[in-house]
A and B are shown apart, each in its own frame.
Chain A
Amino acid sequence: MVAIHDLVQITAQEWEIPKTFRADMRVPVRLFASRALLEQIVDDRSLEQAVNAATLPGLVGHVVVMPDMHQGYGFPIGGVAATQFPHGVISPGGIGYDINCGVRLLVSSIEADAAAPWLDQLAARLDQYCPSGVGKDGLVRATQPELERLLHEGARWALKQGYGEELDLVRTEEGGCMDGADARKVSRRAKERGLGQVGSVGAGNHFIEVDRVETIFDPETAAAFGLRHGCLVAQIHCGSRGLGHQVCTDYVQEFQAATRRYDIHLPDRELVCAPMDSPEGQAYLGAMRAAANYAFANRQVLTHAIRRAFEETFAGKVKDWHLRQVYDLCHNMGKIETHTVEGKAVKVCVHRKGATRAFGPGAPGLPDEYRTAGQPVLVPGSMGTASWVLAGTEASMLRSFGSSCHGAGRTMSRARAKHEVRGDALRRDLETRGIKVRAGSLSGLAEEAPCAYKDVDAVVEIVVLAGIARKVARLQPLAVVKG
């Protein structure tokens, strides 16, 4: 176990587990957290998992952990690790089973006060048009050739089918399509699982949410992002569904042997990895990017469904009911990027597991209109609590491989949450606070109770004080749809 006294405090919000903590560490671990947040997480195994991640071959800089960190499997959730390209390793477990799980934010110019009488209808339509819950099929049943194209084209595929508009792609990480996707490296079984799930939310902590822009902290950046005080916005949180889960399952299994072949010794078998320039590493990269494209297409189809729900609810009642995309970002991904490490530009594979890319102003790959502001960083809170829109900074490029937090972060197990919270009571409580809830399962609702998560405001405060993101706007939830 790692204890707080094993950490060296660098600043009020930054801590280090030195490389000397354990003999097999190749780099130190840097954590962004307050003492209070550290005390909340020290009882689970996230710090130990961060130390384990610091043993991967080819790491550069340090392993970074965000303040929403919590115990995962292999990597901690909130972990960022960069390995040298192309000889360093790639670790499927360091990216996770839900490849390209991510968040998309859409904005409107509908005043929340004016929309209030129709919020119930809107929630019902979102629930009807956005399939959510365990085992639910998606809006689109792709044929085999369509799926092959989707895996290579990502959100562009969805656009070609009529789901969305060009600006959606411009305002999506990687333009909604990862280069280098290779559908041939995706197993038959993964494809079978993916055929029927395009346009589905899934279960667990995935959701569709409607919020009101409650506070604007940076009017100029908010204007660049299209955020208007008091207006409705919509968030989507979901990923690559069964196809992505199967891709990761396949490669974690296959890499068990690869790790032995390349004589790599690891403290946890979930961290299995292979050099990026090996046949195994290349195969996984191709499959992972294809799964990422599936997730982009999935969120694109859901965007269309949300726009339909907004149109049917608000057409004729407000002047402009259209939803414009702010951004779509990934928080479970491996990306080849160039970062400055010890004063030198180094090409690396950044593993982000429950961490968001947060590129600063002028960074490559940002839409032209965000070049000055920096990348929108979307931080959904726990159900019923605020969400945040932040912007990436120059400091994030230097200190966290251009990354920031991805949410509030759990503090309580799902079993304990279900024991302590009654789903029906929680729903009543949320409704009393003016939040419409459509949930497929009351026990699933209880698992996601706000008390099972950290305070998202405290998490955001840390990344802002640490300088790796800055506040743009705070969102207040009005309606939640989940499985």
Chain B
Amino acid sequence: MPFRELEHTADRSLRVWARDLPALFSEAARGMIALAGIQAAPAPRLRRQFETSAPDAESLLVAFLAELLYAAEHEKQVYHVFRFLHLEPGLQVEMEGSPLVSMRTNIKAVTYHNLQIRKTRAGWCVDLVFDV
């Protein structure tokens, strides 16, 4: 899997890596869903589009993940398939998913703590800290 949990005393942290930025965003979303222990129903299929703008990729990533958290917690919808139409300067993504069945961990928020998307030899990498 292109993500793994990092040690954090109180909250939860993930390292995510991918070959390009859209893949990094997608894997960060899947990593967060795994971290929260979210189970989704096989059907019916849900679709929605999300658009936002921000001055940098880190802010776009936080906004994107926060949107997914809101959808899961408040709307009981889980999105895990993503098609990025734009990513930088503005984010536009088509998302596919299904209804939420259960969620094990309440992630309160996606934080900016030491958040930096890094270019690596293999692609892109980011460490995320979630408030739980």
Contacts and interface: CB of A to CB of B under 8 A. Distances in A.
Contacts of A252: 109, 111-112
A270 B55 contact: no
Interface string B33-70: 00000000000000000000011001100110010001
B108 A97 contact: yes
Given A410-B10, A415-B7, A441-B104, A93 B111 contact: yes
Contact of B74 (A71, A73, A193, A257): A193
Given A189-B70, A253-B63, A269 B112 contact: yes
Contacts of A93: 111-113
Interface string B88-119: 00000000000000011110111111110000
B8 interface: yes
A242 to B, nearest CB: 6
Interface in A64-79: 70-74, 77
A202 B113 contact: no
A259 to B, nearest CB: 11
Contacts of B55: 256-257
Interface string B1-20: 00001011111100000000
A74 B111 contact: yes
Nearest to A202: B106
The number of chain B residues touching the other chain, given as a range, is 20 to 34
A71 B8 contact: yes
Contacts of A433: none
A135 B59 contact: no
A96 B129 CA distance: 13
B129 to A, nearest CB: 5
A416 interface: yes
A413 interface: yes
Name B's interface SS.
loop
Given A70-B10, A415-B7, A134 B112 contact: no
Nearest to B55: A257
B90 to A, nearest CB: 15
- Most A Cβ at <10 Å: residue of B12, B103, B110, B112: B112
Nearest to A239: B108
Interface residues of A, number: 44
A44 interface: yes
A374 B115 CA distance: 41
B111 A73 contact: yes
Nearest to B132: A204
A270 B10 CA distance: 16
Contact of A98 (B59, B62, B108): B108
B58 A72 contact: no
Contacts of A412: 9
A97 B54 CA distance: 21
A94 to B, nearest CB: 12
Interface of A: 44, 46, 70-74, 77, 93, 96-98, 134-135, 189, 192-193, 202-204, 242, 245-246, 248-249, 252-253, 256-257, 268-270, 272, 410-416, 441, 443-444, 483
Given A98-B108, A135-B76, 7 more contacts: A46-B9, A74-B112, A97-B111, A192-B74, A245-B131, A256-B54, A415-B7
6 contacts: A71-B9, A77-B10, A204-B108, A252-B109, A253-B62, A443-B104
